[in-house]
């Protein structure tokens, strides 16, 4: 397997993990990808183009999936915040504490 095909393989695994919600495995994928990228020549050979294009497409899919998940989490957080605000309306009124007693 060429190093460029290995990049495709890593991107496929990353997309698989992100799609399954298994984000805890992403740092290991990033570490492997960074090591692989460090070993590549500065200018890829022409025959690497299909693998690099496939890797780019997969990375775009990973980015889109991560953004979709981020937006879902943000929506859930907004619902929690809204729910807390609504629940405060049902709480009994709390009298403010008196800081000075009547004797003073």
The percentage of the chain sitting over the pLDDT mark of 70, rounded to a whole number, equals: 88
Q: What is the band of 53 on the pLDDT scale with cuts at 50, 70, 90?
A: very high
Contact 17, 32 (CB under 8 A): no
* pTM check: above 0.75: no
- The verdict on residue 77 lying in a domain is yes
- The verdict on residue 52 lying in a domain is yes
Radius of gyration of the chain (CA): 26
Classify 103 as helix, strand or coil. coil
Cα dist from 100 to 19, 93, 94, 95, 97, whole Å = 60, 21, 18, 14, 9
- The verdict on residue 94 lying in a domain is no
**11 or 91, higher pLDDT:** 11
- The verdict on residue 18 lying in a domain is yes
Write out pLDDT tens, residues 74-88: 988 888 877 666 666
- The verdict on residue 66 lying in a domain is yes
> What would you measure as the largest C-alpha separation in the chain, in angstroms?
91
Domain that holds residue 60: 3-83
- The verdict on residue 27 lying in a domain is yes
Residue 79: CATH number of its domain? 1.20.58
């Amino acid at each position: 397997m060429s190093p460029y095909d290995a990049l495709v393989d890593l991107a496929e695994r990353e997309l698989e993990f992100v799609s399954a919600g298994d984000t805890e495995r992403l740092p290991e994928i990033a570490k492997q990808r960074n090591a692989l990228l460090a070993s590549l020549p500065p200018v890829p050979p022409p025959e690497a183009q299909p693998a690099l294009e496939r890797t780019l497409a997969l990375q775009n899919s990973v980015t889109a999936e991560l953004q979709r998940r981020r937006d879902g989490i943000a929506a859930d957080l907004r619902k929690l915040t809204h729910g807390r605000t609504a629940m405060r309306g049902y709480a009994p009124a709390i009298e403010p504490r008196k800081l000075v007693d009547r004797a003073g």
